[in-house]
Amino acid sequence: MTSGRSATLILSLVVASVSAASAAPATTSGSVALALAGVVAPFSPLPAAEKKAVAAFFAGNSNVPYTKKITVTADKILCRASNVAITSRSCELTFGSHTSTVKGRAANEIFATEALAGVPSDGAAGTIFEGLTKLSCTLDPKVIKENAGGGADCTFEPGN
């Protein structure tokens, strides 16, 4: 094999490795997972009782009467903030075939919580992006009530 072909093969393997790593699932738990579920749940198709329980947990109330596990999911979340038009910030949350667009303070909360969960940002032409896919957060009210740091776990794939 010539050195040019070797270099091409090595570069191809490195690119494939980096691409596979960036698509690898990420996890978070505890307070960060609760925060991620808390900012996504209001826009999700969850039943009202589950949305109310998630909101109560996120507001600091661990003594919620809801006892079943709650799963907050989103197929895709893509947030944008401008570093030129500094008042511009938005997130698109996709749940199945339904997409909700969130702007302003709520979008900033989602954007910041994604960053807290380790979602990397990217930028181009005056816009900063953060995105994730396949979000699945599970909240276990019985464990959350113990106030020992557990009961909230999320998995997702960083990137958009």
In a domain, 140, yes or no: yes
Instruction: Report the domain count for the chain.
Output: 1
Residue 114 neighbours by CB distance under 10 Å: 26
In a domain, 18, yes or no: no
Give the pLDDT confidence score for residue 6 in this predicted structure: 38
In a domain, 10, yes or no: no
In a domain, 91, yes or no: yes
Element of type H or E holding 134: strand 127-139
Average pLDDT over residues 125-135: 94
φ, ψ of residue 87 to 5 degrees: the values are -90, -5
Distance CA 123, CA 139 (A): 32
How confident is the prediction for the chain on average, in pLDDT? 88
In a domain, 19, yes or no: no
In a domain, 119, yes or no: yes
Domain, as residue range, for 50: 25-158
Element of type H or E holding 114: helix 104-116
In a domain, 153, yes or no: yes
Q: How confident is the model at residue 23 (pLDDT cuts 50, 70, 90)?
A: low
Q: How confident is the model at residue 88 (pLDDT cuts 50, 70, 90)?
A: very high
Kindly state the tokens that stand for 151. 């009961």
